[in-house]
Amino acid sequence: MLLATGLKHGAGACRAAHGGSAVAAARSVVTVHAIQPDKPEFDFSHHAKRLARLNHGSFGACPQPVLRYQQRQREAWLAEPDTWFFSGRLDEALKLSARSVSKALSRSMPPQDGQLCLVDNATVATAAIARRWAKKVQPGDVVVVLSVIYAASLNVLREFCEAAGARIEVLEVPFPCRSSAEVLERFEGQLAALRQTGARIRFALLDHVSSQPALLLPVQEMVGACRRHGTEDLEVAIDGAHSIGSCEFDVAKLGADWFFSNLHKWGFAPTTATIVWASRPELMLETRHPIPSWSWGQGMAVEARFPGTRDFSAMLAAPAAMEYLERWRSEEGEIASQYCHRRVMESALELAEAWGTADQLLPEELVATQAMVRLPPALRVDDLPGRVSHGVRQTLRERYCVEASIGNFGVSTGSWVRLSYAVYNTPRDVARLRDAVLEILEMQ
């Protein structure tokens, strides 16, 4: 009798805890309560105090309110993973998380659920698209990429598209360059020359904000050039790894078929979460996630929600990150991308004047929240851009507690720093880099 009473009690408690639909439960999970930015010294208090972090572009940073939100999602999953998965709550919550990025992508034409999904990072997004393209490759097909392509993305295209018989053509982006117009003119000229050889320009992967060197490219116009010179069934993907949170854009107006952007770089999300957008739901439906799992054959938007058991908390924290991004304002009332752009331009000028390279600063139209600054020509730099190195970059880190992306781009181009300016950076961080470089130069 006691056992029966206990079971009755337990059943009632379970019904109370899990009553309602999976959709309602998921909505309660992803509802963002009181995500309010505070002063950077509080929201980023977990950062190492000794470091001047001027390389935000590599790994980003997540503020405390979003980290706390992520931890609540992680704990909720760990408390009852079976309920989350088998009731459909996880699936619905991830769908709502992807939807939370809609405003950051387009205010003119908010994407449908079938156009969006979240994946781990930009490399996974590239792999999904490249795998799709590989299945469509015909003899003579060309994949156009830029000379500033992220190295991992190029490797992905080689693995899938080149192996399927496509030819990868790398089109040169001038660096340093004088203007967006120069970039576009050079790009279109190379496309025209390629077309005259009889090449079938069938696919293109273009960078929005490139990694090394960091350049804000006229990607909408470049997509248009691809349409003019490519095949009728051309597919264009935009690698927007740095886009969300670092520049203003409307994905619906860019003219591409695919777009993806990391949320954990400039979008305040925890590591790692990347949004993938397709111009039409049919594209998502026809595309497979790189890891076949239980939802295989249902299209990327569905398959991406469960490629296997993992920690889903970073993706579930996307609504909190987007709320933080939406609410963040500088003392002057600027949004994050405007503030960081202004500060990185000011800081780049300060560094370049101190190092005697102000005449080589890039125009503002090519800068988002990262600026390329030429290092003193006499400084000996062995570091390769974006690679593990033991040269000036290591000296800055270990002797001066300054983290900065240093790279030698070759004899004719010289050595540069890719300067990131995030909302938590200060003029003192920049001054430490300025003085450290001058001291290293003197010691050499």
Tens-digit pLDDT profile for residues 211-268: 999 999 999 999 999 999 999 999 999 999 999 999 999 999 999 999 999 999 999 9
Q: Do residues 358 and 302 make contact, with C-beta atoms less than 8 angstroms apart?
A: no
Q: pLDDT at position 8, please?
A: 43
Mean pLDDT of the chain: 93
Task: For residues 130-153, give the mean pLDDT.
Answer: 97
| 3-class DSSP assignment, residue 100 | coil
Whether pLDDT at 410 is above 90: yes
Mean pLDDT in residue range 91-100: 96
Q: With bands split at pLDDT 50, 70 and 90, how would you rate the model's confidence at 386?
A: confident
Any idea what DSSP says for residue 24? H
- For residue 61, which of 443, 420, 427 has the smallest C-alpha distance? 420
Query: Residue type at 411?
Result: V
Mutual angle of helices 64-79 and 318-327, in 10-degree steps: 160
Query: How many residues are listed for the chain in this entry?
Result: 444
What percentage of the chain exceeds 90 in pLDDT?
A: 91
pLDDT of residue 256: 98
The pTM of this model reads 0.93
pLDDT tens-digit map of 303-313: 999 999 999 99
- Give the model's pLDDT for residue 419: 98
The total of other beta-carbon atoms located within 10 Å of residue 280's CB is 12
Distance CA(374)–CA(412), nearest Å, equals: 12
Rounded Cα gap, residues 259 and 239, in angstroms: 6
Q: Do 253 and 223 meet the contact criterion of CB atoms below 8 Å apart?
A: no
pLDDT band (50, 70, 90) for residue 31: low
pLDDT tens-digit series, residues 73-92: 999 999 999 999 999 999 99
> Over 90: is that where the pLDDT of 16 sits?
no
Whether the bond between 213 and the residue before it is cis, its omega within 30 degrees of 0, is yes
**Rounded mean pLDDT of 352-375?**
98
**Cα end-to-end span (Å), the chain:** 86
> Residue 167 has what pLDDT?
97
At 156-168, the pLDDT tens digits run: 999 999 999 999 9
